[in-house]
Amino acid sequence: MPTDPISSSSSLIETMRAIARDRATGTRRGSKVSTGDSSADATPAPASARSIGELRQRLRTLAADVNIDDTQSLFNARAPALHEILLWEFGADFRRDAQFLPVVEAISSALDADPRFQQSFVDLLAGLQKS
């Protein structure tokens, strides 16, 4: 059962979380990027500790300019949406992790590989535009 549902496409969010956790955990075990800040080594607060409303608002702002009928517009919105979701899920320090961009690319590839995920992303953006 999905946690922290954003919309009916929350299975997409759950899949992105799983991919990100797998990639980030494997890399952090042996080669975490040092930031020089000991607070960056702390485990990020769980998603439930942060406001889902904050994430929803950020994604709404991003979705506002997306033409869901245009493939290029959807593609252009994908990376920024993934960034927002991952940073919300894992904390802002994850942006400095060596695996941040590879995780975004892995999730993007998963979206490309499965038409259901592509449709879920479209549904997510359309739902955000309506709310």
The neighbour count for residue 33, using CB atoms within 10 Å, is: 14
The neighbour count for residue 59, using CB atoms within 10 Å, is: 23
Q: What pLDDT, in 10s, does the model give residues 67-119?
A: 999 999 999 999 999 999 999 988 989 999 999 999 999 999 999 999 999 99
Q: Which is higher by pLDDT, 8 or 10? A: 10
The DSSP letter of residue 15 is H
Type of residue at 27: T
**9-29 average pLDDT score:** 66
Tokens of 48: 């439930």
Task: Tell me what pLDDT residue 38 has.
Answer: 39
Average pLDDT, the chain: 78
Type of residue at 111: L
Task: Tell me what pLDDT residue 5 has.
Answer: 45
* Stated pTM of the model: 0.66
Q: Round to whole Å and give the CA distance between 64 and 102.
A: 27
**Domain residue ranges of the chain, discontinuous segments joined by +:** 54-131
